[in-house]
Structure 1
Amino acid sequence: MKKIHNEDLDSMYIGSVQEEYTKIDGRWLRLHYKTSVGLVIFSFLVEFAMGMLLINSEMLTTTVNRFFWKFLIIPSGINLICIALEMFIMKSKRFSQNYKIYSVSLIFVCICFVLFTAHSTFVATYYIFAIAIMLTTIYANYRVTSITALTSIIAIVVSELFVRWDVDKISIFQNTHRLNDFMIALFVLITFSIVCMVAIRFEREKNSASIQKEIERKQLQKSVHMDEMTGIYNRKAFHAELKNVEDTTPDRHHILAIVDIDKFKNINDTWGHHVGDRCLIEFAKILKEFNKNITAFRYGGDEFCLLFRGIDMENAKSICEEIQLKVNGLIFEDYPNLKLTASFGLAAISDEVDTVRLFIHADRALYEAKKTRNAIRVF
């Protein structure tokens, strides 16, 4: 059972959720990269098929060599360079995942720019950039999507105004239909980008709400297993942990200590229950100092249970002695005559000793320790 302080619960859970989100982003990044590879391969096959069709149909307006160099070899070669760069970035351990996300997103836009420039006579190629923008929305990162969208729009404008790769391409300033297609494409891409940003906003709000609800659920679950006064685990949590030990621990290497504050009834009768409560709180604070070695539970009243994992009996006894020394050294300034002592009973689990017998054995050892008080006994 994890030992989590109340003030750390939110940050620890949010951290674990963010880690899961990072893993999901990593899986999507790999798919994003594979999509760009698939687009390059698909566009090459389509262009090759179209080239063969044009050659056989005698619709080709240029030489075969010029056609293949201009519309197949050079565009595909540039895109292969883009893919090689992507592969280098993806495989390199020097780059962070965030850097890889930006790189793959922008290289995808470059691939779209090459395909659009080579085939801009087809109106449908305007909207290939929508794919580049859409693929970034999974990251739920405003900056990645906005930069990709802006780069895509700039790529369209640059290609239309300053690049004329296809000699058959009609300038948008020479043809009203081409100008209309260009303006409509810009409007659609800008609108699509805004819609993607809105979708990201609602996705992030949904994720935040889910995280908050899960935190509240975990806080409620944790409060059920916490002792309100001392801030350590309660009896219910102790029984749940014993069951977990019995069900899931193959080596069964655990030690249980039952601890009892000596003459606690006398403390309540002499100084009052509020002082008794203060003693319990101070005792629990000492136990929390050893939370790397033990899981502490308040079993009831002045009785506590300590569960040791992965250490032998000598080390367990040594830790109990340290706790005992700290308890003996407690000073209550308002009650200088009040001195606390504690008795410990220890027992180890084994193949022959289940958790029920473990508790009985530790309780018997505590009974022996109580005879002399301020003592440590092992069953």
Structure 2
Amino acid sequence: MEEKQVLAEIQKQERQLSTYWRSLHWHVCAVLAAGTAAAEILLFFVLDAASLISCSVPVYLIRYIAVPSLINGALVWGCRWLIRTRDWEETKKDGIVSLTMTLLCFVITIIHGAFSSVYMMFVLPTLLTTVYERKQLTVVTALTGMVLCGLSAFMPSWDPDKIVTAYYFSDILICLMVQAGTLAACWELLEFQDRRRQISRRRDAERISLQREVSYDALTGVGSRMALNRCFEELETAQDYALVLLDLDDFKQINDQLGHLIGDEVLRQVGQLLNNDSERMRAYRFGGDEFCVVLKQPQSDEAERCMRQLQEQFSQRMRELFPKFPMTISLGIHHQQGGESALQCFRHADEALYKAKKQGKNQLASN
């Protein structure tokens, strides 16, 4: 169970990182679309100044700026809408962004097919998918890019300046070979990343397990003594909380008469009861049978009412488990006053617990 929890935590972190990259990936698509439009506008002024435009200005503006900008803008906007509003799996959203970039490259090669070098752009979507570390996504993106590259090269030309010659086809063939080589290189890179991820996961699992061992008491499941120390540091700047110290009555006799295994089971039962109400309280074990409970911003008499309920639940559970040996707990409560440190509150709660012990078993006292 512990390993599953650690693995789930690691996978959650990986999904968060993937979501972050998907957002950056979309921004790259947006920059590519905007940059293409800006470059074409700049090229228009350069060609116009050099009298190299082979068509009328209105046709040029429509053919090379207006139409591709509208198509690219629709692709980018549609991608954003799909990944934000559709309740899809993360893998499908990653695929949508990768496909959008491939389609952007397809539009650019159709519009500017006269320059065979633009077909190299299909390498970019393949490279960017490697960050997701999913081979299937990279392969599908690369193959889609190669198909669209060939389709763009042989379909009727949008650019009248495009001249199809033997050299043109050789350039396209070289572009396809580069894409295939890129796919092979990305495959090897993903193999390496997969091995590195496995090593990283093992290290993360060890780190998270160590953190849990340090932060939680292995027997009871509540916070450890070290976690309590960290909690006290946080409480130095907090106000309006209550500290409760809890102690089992005659715990030594439980160990002596029933055995230490039964004593451990009793402590586990206390931990379960404390963790059952984790929304209102944080519990820590700082001694053998001694626990500290922190209630933040309790309402009037809420701490006392909550602790008396805990006493009743514990007594009832012990009667069910050990009917011949009744067990109870005593508690001391202190509400933080203005200016008091966490350590001062702890001392006052300890004094209240001592007072409860003097009154007998199953008692609750405040100070």
Q: For the residues of structure 2 that align with 1:46 and 1:96, how far apart are their CA atoms?
A: 41
Q: 2:298 aligns with which of 288, 303, 311?
A: 311
Q: 1:88 aligns with which of 68, 77, 83?
A: 77
Aligned AA (1:80): S
Residue in structure 2 matched with residue 43 of structure 1 by the alignment: 40
Which aligned pairs between 1:123-202 and structure 2 lie closer than 5 A? 123-166=116-159, 169-172=162-165, 175=166, 177-202=167-192
Q: Which moved more, 1:361-370 or 1:295-304?
A: 295-304
Write out per-residue CA displacement over residues 77-104 of structure 1, whole angstroms, 9 at most, x where no aligned residue: 2211123313532554534685665445
User: For residues 204 and 51 of structure 1, do their structure 2 counterparts lie closer, same or farther at Cα, with a shift above 3 Å needed?
Assistant: farther
Where 1:295 maps in the other structure, the secondary structure is strand
Residue in structure 1 matched with residue 361 of structure 2 by the alignment: 373
The CA deviation at 1:276 is 2.1
Aligned AA (1:373): K
The CA deviation at 1:54 is 4.6
Q: Where do 5+ consecutive residues of structure 2 fail to align? A: none
The CA deviation at 1:326 is 1.3
Q: For the residues of structure 2 that align with 1:110 and 1:266, how far apart are their CA atoms?
A: 76
The CA deviation at 1:190 is 1.5
Residue in structure 2 matched with residue 361 of structure 1 by the alignment: 348
Which aligned pairs between 1:1-379 and structure 2 lie closer than 5 A? 8-55=5-52, 62=54, 64-65=55-56, 69=59, 73-89=62-78, 92=81, 93-95=84-86, 101-166=94-159, 169-172=162-165, 175=166, 177-246=167-236, 248-249=237-238, 252-312=239-299, 314-331=301-318, 335-371=322-358, 372-379=360-367
Normalization by structure 1: what TM-score? 0.83
Q: For the residues of structure 2 that align with 1:86 and 1:166, how far apart are their CA atoms?
A: 21
The CA deviation at 1:221 is 1.9
Q: For the residues of structure 2 that align with 1:115 and 1:186, how far apart are their CA atoms?
A: 16
Q: Which moved more, 1:116-125 or 1:289-298?
A: 116-125
The CA deviation at 1:72 is 5.1
Q: For the residues of structure 1 that align with 2:104 and 2:173, how far apart are their CA atoms?
A: 22
Q: Which moved more, 1:260-269 or 1:26-35?
A: 26-35
Normalization by structure 2: what TM-score? 0.86
Where 1:336 maps in the other structure, the secondary structure is coil
Aligned AA (1:294): M
Where 2:301 maps in the other structure, the secondary structure is helix
The CA deviation at 1:358 is 0.8
Aligned AA (1:23): Y
Aligned AA (1:375): Q
How many residues align structurally? 362
Write out per-residue CA displacement over residues 142-200 of structure 1, whole angstroms, 9 at most, x where no aligned residue: 4443333223222222233232345564445xx3x333322222111121133234334
CA RMSD of aligned residues (A): 3.0
Q: Which moved more, 1:130-139 or 1:353-362?
A: 130-139
User: For residues 278 and 16 of structure 1, do their structure 2 counterparts lie closer, same or farther at Cα, with a shift above 3 Å needed?
Assistant: same
Q: For the residues of structure 2 that align with 1:51 and 1:141, how far apart are their CA atoms?
A: 46
Would the aligned equivalents of 2:275 and 2:283 in 1 still touch at CA under 8 Å? yes
Where 2:293 maps in the other structure, the secondary structure is strand
